[in-house]
Amino acid sequence: MLLTFWLRIGFPENRNPLFGPMLLTFWLRIGFPENRNPLFGPMRRGQRRAMQNETPIIIRPSRDADVEPMLAIYRRHIRRGIEAGVEDSGTPQPDDLRDRRKNLRNRRLPHLAATLGGEVVGYAYVVLFRKRPAYRFTVKHSIYVHHDHLGRGIGRLLMQALIDACAAAGFRQMIGYIDAENTASLALHERFGFARVGLLPGVAYRYGKWSDSVMVQRSLGAGATLPAP
Ligand SMILES: CC(C)(COP(=O)(O)OP(=O)(O)OC[C@H]1O[C@@H](n2cnc3c(N)ncnc32)[C@H](O)[C@@H]1OP(=O)(O)O)[C@@H](O)C(=O)NCCC(=O)NCCS
């Protein structure tokens, strides 16, 4: 994208050597490619990668046909650092995920997919933080990007779309749990204004050691400043 600056230069009447006694105004239009503009600092990682890849990333509600690629993305991340022999009773089967999608859609809970050239390269969704009615304005989110497409700004697009969709649906708080060593996810959440509100020590075991989880939270819309509708 080109950034545009308008620069206004005025010469005092009696000092303008070129144009005589008239007060002259020049408008100068200068376009800088974003990555070369010295005034705006270095380009962020996501922007740089997005520019290398001209194909646009589309964020849209997920579909039944996305279930298999979404599960493939999920399995890869969820098995990270876990020994091969450990049973995985929590990973949903394709039918479970199809049911979950329908369920979420019926309850107005966003479930989004990111596609690049028609291929699913990430997804994000929320569930209710707790099922009890008092917690109906609070959601817990998950976001996953395909391991071949990390660092291209897909997580950022998904996060923005998820926040917007949750705010539009009337939710007031968004909560996430992140492995304390997951630098990328911690940075992504910080970038979107999530505060670290809790630490759960030693709750996971991966790469042969115990690890902590960080609980993060941000408000949506009026948050807790206005009564519930
Ligand atoms: C966390 C995750 C979703 C980020 O997705 P991504 O598409 O790679 O991230 P983006 O390229 O959009 O980067 C967005 C921001 O995340 C942060 N980030 C991403 N990768 C990073 C890295 N390797 N190191 C530090 N920060 C990083 C940066 O703040 C970045 O903003 P910037 O580009 O302005 O610097 C992705 O790494 C992922 O799927 N991880 C595994 C699953 C997971 O941990 N999910 C989160 C649990 S809720």
Instruction: Using alpha carbons, select from 152, 160, 150 the residue that is nearest to residue 194.
Output: 160
| Single-letter amino acid code for the residue at 185 | S
Q: Which of 129, 150, 186, 189 to mutate to test the pocket of ligand 1 (most atoms within 8 A of CB)?
A: 150
Mean per-residue pLDDT over the chain, rounded? 80
Q: Which two tokens stand for residue 21?
A: 């006694």
Question: What's CA 179's distance to the chain center, in Å?
Answer: 17
CB 161 within 8 A of CB 112: yes
Q: Which of 9-13, 28-32, 43-47, 182-186 has the highest mean pLDDT?
A: 182-186
Beta partners for residue 4, in sequence order: 31
Rounded Cα distance between 207 and 166, Å, is: 34
User: What pLDDT digit, counting tens, does each position of 130-180 carry?
Assistant: 999 999 999 999 999 999 999 999 999 999 999 999 999 999 999 999 999
pLDDT band at 108 (very low <50, low <70, confident <90, very high): confident
Domains of the chain listed by start with CATH number: 1-42 (no CATH), 45-219 (3.40.630.30)
Q: Which atom of ligand 1 is nearest to the CA of 158?
A: 12
User: What pLDDT digit, counting tens, does each position of 110-121 carry?
Assistant: 999 999 999 999
Provide the whole-model pTM.
Answer: 0.79
Instruction: Using alpha carbons, select from 41, 84, 36, 52 the residue that is nearest to residue 153.
Output: 52
CB 108 near ligand 1, within 6 Å: no
% of the chain at pLDDT higher than 90: 61
